[in-house]
Structure 1
Amino acid sequence: MFFSATDLLLKPYSRTGNSHIRNTQMKRNLHPDTVYSSAFYSKDVADCWDKYADREFLEEHNIDLESYEAQNMINFFEVRNLLATVTTVGPYCREIVRDFYCNLTEAVKDPRYLKYGKVYVRGQIFSFSPGVINRFLHTPASDDVALPSMNEMTSFITRGQVSEFPAHPKKLQAAKITSLYSVLQKNAVKTWTPSGNSTVVTKHQAPVLYAIGTGVSFNYGRLVGVLIKGELS
């Protein structure tokens, strides 16, 4: 569970232009007579609570600035507009984060619905989109660039030690990647692509490590959105 969703990534929904119309419509739908409770948008959402009640959290961590400065990595992150992604982690409330995930319905991904790009949390509507995430973390809303094949990226980050990304159930061992990518991977499991196993490079992590290491531009907000919305499937 990507813990910082509500505490770091959500902003009140904007009331400008057509957005104001959509927000007014949403507020009408969120009248006390129609909202199931202060915590849950609907009964269907409330019925999903057990799915999240006992879920473990993968907690994000800020980097050790002194240690990373000694490795000349602070400038590395600044050049790539990623410094805020590894230095702005703050405290969070587990119950609210669980509420967020519970209320994160399929409608958040579908432009046909009023809840598109919005999430109900504790009686309030919050915007949830790549743009909101990028503005908060000062990451560019870049168009994603086509990356090499997974096998090519695997070979690159391991400097040829591994020529193909291992097929399931085999894993790409973190010990095989180069020193730069090892530093990045240790950070990735705590921030960019959270994972409970730091000894392997996941299929989500490999492209991110490659892009960051080579300076390839990518949309960080979109990445976070994909990872969080993946909880819906």
Structure 2
Amino acid sequence: MPRAKKSTQEAGPSSGKRKAPSKRTSKQPATYDDTKFETEDAWLAYKHDISRRTILPERRVLTSDFANELLGHVIARNQWESFVATPRVAYVEIVKEFYANIHENLDNPDHPQYRQVYVRGQYIPFSPMEILRYYGLDNMEADIFHTAHTNPHEVVTSLCQGIDHWPDGSSTLDYRSLLPQVRTLDKMVSANLLPTTHTSTVTMERARLLHWLQTKTLHLGNYIFCNIWHIRNNRDVWHFHR
């Protein structure tokens, strides 16, 4: 708790000029509100951590000029026309409350709120299948993304020209080393699938996803669900899907 400032009379030696009283700008701590948070633990997670986090919203990707390029083929193969459309307005506070309310038993079939999240007084279904329904998709035959089985050298060879191995001692690739068609695909990935403002370099996670999307479909519901679950557990920067 911040300490109160001393009055001017108690402040010790000064130049003789009287200081104007400071205006109190800090707000009193919010109290637990059970219409917003399922449990007090969820509220505490919001108060001490999630409320201070940065939200990276999805961004619009104009695809009309890329119909015959790699990006256009990826969108058509995955039926992602609605997914990459103009994002709807997102309410940041509700997004943060949503993350705070994701409980540790979300994926436990024996829990009463299995794959449900408390949002503003009611439980909403949240699962890979519900995410697919939201985007009007039924591609349950899509491939499950497995990063652990992707060889980094194979990734680099497919994404870059003249590079056959991941840069020694580096955790990222230079964006300029990507093939032109891969750069275009990366614009969509960076705006929708893995929202980020750091586009000058490509992380291993993003590189593996780009490699995967060149030839395979992606189970979008499972991918988003797993990413949100990972973010909730690791308390990283909060990027979200509308």
Under TM normalisation by the shorter chain, which class is it? Answer: 0.7 to 0.9
Aligned-CA RMSD value? 2.4
User: 1:40, CA displacement in angstroms?
Assistant: 0.4
1:99 Cα shift? Answer: 0.7
8 Å contact from structure 2 (residues 156, 165) kept in 1 = yes
User: Which residue in 1 is equivalent to 2:196?
Assistant: 195
Cα distance in 2 for residues equivalent to 1:152 and 1:220 = 23
For the Cα contact (< 8 Å) 1:193–1:204, is it kept in 2? Answer: no
In the alignment, the residues of structure 2 paired with residue 232 and residue 72 of structure 1 have an alpha-carbon distance, to the nearest angstrom, of 32
Q: Give the letter for the 2:106 counterpart.
A: V
Going from structure 1 to structure 2, the CA distance change for 1:71 and 1:218 (only over 3 Å counts) comes to: closer
Secondary structure, in 3 states, of the residue corresponding to 1:172? strand
**Alignment counterpart, residue 44 of structure 1, candidates 19, 41, 51:** 41
The change in CA–CA distance for 1:139 and 1:211 in structure 2 (over 3 A counts) is: farther
The 1:89/1:145 distance shift into structure 2, 3 A limit, reads closer
> How many Å separate the matches in 2 of 1:149 and 1:47?
41
TM-score normalised to the size of structure 1?
A: 0.75
Alpha-carbon distance, 1:75 to partner: 5.5
| 2:61–2:188 CA contact under 8 A, matched in 1 | yes
State the structure with more CA Rg.
2
CA contact (8 A) 1:139 1:221 kept: no
Residue of structure 1 in register with 2:180 after alignment: 179
Number of the residue aligned with 2:156: 154
Conserved in 2, the CA contact under 8 Å of 1:104 and 1:232?
A: yes
Question: Going by fraction, where is helix more abundant, 1 or 2?
Answer: 1
Q: 1: CA distance between counterparts of 2:183 and 2:35?
A: 44
Q: Percent identity?
A: 21
Deviations along 1:119-168, one digit per CA (max 9) or x if unpaired, are 0000111111111111222261224276642321122111341412655x
TM-score (norm 2): 0.72
Matched residue count: 197
1:163 match: 165
1:52, distance to aligned residue in structure 2 (A)? 1.3
SS at match of 1:212: helix
Aligned to 1:140: 139
Give the drift of 1:196: 2.7
> Judging changes above 3 Å, is the alpha-carbon distance between structure 1 residues 226 and 160 closer, same or farther for their aligned structure 2 residues?
farther
Q: What are the ranges of 5 or more consecutive residues in structure 2 without an aligned counterpart?
A: 1-31, 234-242
Q: Name segments (4+ residues, structure 1) moved above 6 Å.
A: none
After superposition, the Cα gap between the structure-2 partners of 1:166 and 1:199, relative to the gap in structure 1 and judged at 3 Å, is farther
Structure 1 residue aligned with 2:221? 221
Instruction: Write the letter of the residue equivalent to 2:102.
Output: L
Residue of structure 1 equivalent to 2:121: 123
Between 1:102-111 and 1:62-71, the stretch displaced more is 62-71
Kindly provide the CA deviation profile for residues 152-206 of structure 1, in whole angstroms up to 9, marking residues without a partner as x. Answer: 1122111341412655x54211111111110111111110112231111122212
Q: Secondary structure at the match of 1:48?
A: helix
In 1, Cα distance between the equivalents of 2:60 and 2:214?
19
**Residues 155 and 161 in structure 1, CA contact (< 8 A), matched pair in contact too:** yes
CA distance in 1, matches of 2:190, 2:168: 19
Whole-angstrom distance in 2 between the partners of 1:88 and 1:110:
34
Q: Contact conserved, 2:166 with 2:173, CA < 8 A, in 1?
A: no
What residue ranges of structure 1 are gaps of 5+ in the alignment? 1-34
Structure 1 pair 139/74, CA: closer, same or farther in 2 (3 Å)? Answer: farther
Cα shift at 1:110:
2.0
Match of 1:14 in 2: none
What SS is found at the alignment partner of 1:108? coil
